[in-house]
Amino acid sequence: EPEVTQTPSHQVTQMGQEVILRCVPISNHLYFYWYRQILGQKVEFLVSFYNNEISEKSEIFDDQFSVERPDGSNFTLKIRSTKLEDSAMYFCASNRLAGVTDTQYFGPGTRLTVL
Amino acid sequence: DQQVKQNSPSLSVQEGRISILNCDYTNSMFDYFLWYKKYPAEGPTFLISISSIKDKNEDGRFTVFLNKSAKHLSLHIVPSQPGDSAVYFCAAAVNYGGATNKLIFGTGTLLAVQP
């Protein structure tokens, strides 16, 4: 069964460094998302992406964050200058069809630790 | 801003009995609701959903009930099995007809099914 994959599974970085989290969505999916979960808290929406542009972003998704689909398979989240509070589990998700009723499939997540 | 609330952080039930997980929401614009299940070191996995035009949706052992007037939904698992032990997230969305749809998650309930 096709699945969303994410690399790396765990990323440790120093505060102020740039990180790029990578995702490979399911191959025929067109709609992409990043969510994050700070330890012990709820899963929070960061950004959605369709047709090579951001569809919607949350207040969390400030100028330090960017997303890109550099080729036909990868979907990346870049944090330009990491802060301690960026430490979280980051989940990529994708779905095939427009509309809320089409299931979003989540990857296993990347645990980001900012020291 | 807790638009989706799961007030029980954990629940323990005996194998074979019914598990009832509850979720409340505050945003009356929500018109689509989902339950996701999450095992450790994995991403959330879609379980079942319900549109606001229905009050019940059933899929095998899983049934979701929606009470719009109370802004409350619940997930019933009958019979519960040890493999159901996981964190269950309630999520909600507004079906505004856009291409992408962000999911608003609750904080999750850890279900432990005792053999």
Q: Does A60 touch chain B (CB under 8 A)?
A: no
Whose CA is closest to B32, among A35, A102, A100? A100
pLDDT at A75: 96
Q: Would you place residue B1 in the very low, low, confident or very high pLDDT band (cuts 50, 70, 90)? A: low
Provide the terminal-to-terminal Cα distance of chain B, rounded to the nearest Å: 38
Contact (CB, 8 A) for A74 and A61: no
Q: What is the pLDDT along chain A (115 residues), one digit of tens a residue?
A: 789 999 999 999 999 999 999 999 999 999 999 999 999 889 999 999 999 999 999 999 999 999 999 887 899 999 999 999 999 999 999 999 888 888 999 999 999 999 9
Contact predicate B75/B84, CB 8 Å = no
d(CA A32, CA A12): 24
Given a cut of 80, whether residue B78 has pLDDT beyond it is yes
- Cβ contact B101–A43 (<8 Å): no
Report yes or no: B36 at the A interface, CB cutoff 8 Å: yes
pLDDT 10s digits, B24-58: 999 999 999 999 999 988 899 999 999 999 999 99
Place of tokens 């369709």: A50
What are the pLDDT digits (tens) for B92-101? 999 887 778 8
Q: Which A residues, 76 through 95, put their C-beta within 8 Å of a C-beta on chain B?
A: 91, 93
